[in-house]
Amino acid sequence: MTSTRRRLVILFAALATLAALLAPGPAQAKDKRELTVMSQNLYLGASLGPALDPTFPGGLFGALPVILAEFQATDYVARSGAIADEIAAAGPDIIGLQEVSIWSFATGQTVDFLQILQFQLGLRGLTYVDVASSDNATIVVPGAVTFQDRDVILVNVDTPGLSITGSDSGNFAAQFVLSGTPIGDISFNRGWALVDGTFEGKKFRFINTHLETEDFPSVQEAQTVEFLAGPAKAGGAVIAVGDFNSAADGSTTASYDLLTKAYFDDAWDANPGSDGYTCCQASSLDNATSELESRIDLVLTHAAARALSAEVVGDTQFRDPLTMPPPFWPSDHAGVVAVIRIH
């Protein structure tokens, strides 16, 4: 654990202890070790498809203005307010976020998705501390923009009985690399982050990840094998959340089956017969009707963790298409909130 991460864990432990001391009484505590968790892909704000398309006019440098125009149009500041509203309504104790981007422009402007979301949460009287993160892609287009991708775990400091005891992160050995671009090889360098903790005296592990897309199934499935053999391998209760990019109906890649056939249980099993679609809205977020048609954002449990309920959030418009301009959706992905009992 790095010294910075160690300080964050110590800070969180102190804040959690203070919150517990200030709590009004037993009525505020969770019942029967019920932990509310959430997974949410924030959406980086633009499709990178044009930059990955070798036939796009002008190549990478022709694609860049298109990507940046879409990023501006999808207005993360406005969307982050809608996502903060979802969090305020659901009250999760722990959140796994994906595509927690930082866009740094040659003009000097920086758009840090995590910083903005935490500010929005603060406006709503909420304090979520980032206690673990994986540093994924860093893509530099000289003289124009630097894009950084992270997966982050946030913890609610006001949850009584919740203590974080350690954290870790890493990147997968298996990665898709786009070679020979004008700025060199490009990889999203996908990874995972985790925290170990106790909730009302019971130990648990919480993991957050974002696997490679279905366009590169062999890479994604290799990452799944690494995930199961590495961070997911823990004694006791394990909760894993993330954008796994593998359709739960088996229509895309084998990763969902690899995850759920022998090790994890899917929290969505608490909703038999419900679709639970989470992916994906149009990259421009200007579609007037929802285009969600796949379930790839998951909450998974293992051993002494059992899902009591699960629901999709962020699948409704936060702006009225008849009266307001886009973006209409908080993200191109809906989120998932689940209540997990730790035994």
For residue range 144-164, list pLDDT tens digits in order. 999 999 999 999 999 999 999
Q: What is the largest CA-CA distance in the chain?
A: 63
Ordered DSSP codes for 145-193? EEEEEEEEEEEETT-TTEEEEEEEEEE-S---EEEEETTEEEE---EEE
For residue range 84-132, list pLDDT tens digits in order. 999 999 999 999 999 999 999 999 999 999 999 999 999 999 999 999 9
From residue 52, give the alpha-carbon distance in Å to each of 63, 146, 182: 9, 16, 12
| 179-183, 204-208, 216-220, 261-265: range with lowest mean pLDDT | 179-183
- What is the rounded average pLDDT for all residues in the chain? 92
Please, which pLDDT band fits residue 31 given cuts at 50, 70 and 90?
low
Average pLDDT, integer, range 188-200: 97
For residue range 255-303, list pLDDT tens digits in order. 999 999 999 999 999 998 899 999 999 999 999 999 999 999 999 999 9
pLDDT at 6 over 70: no
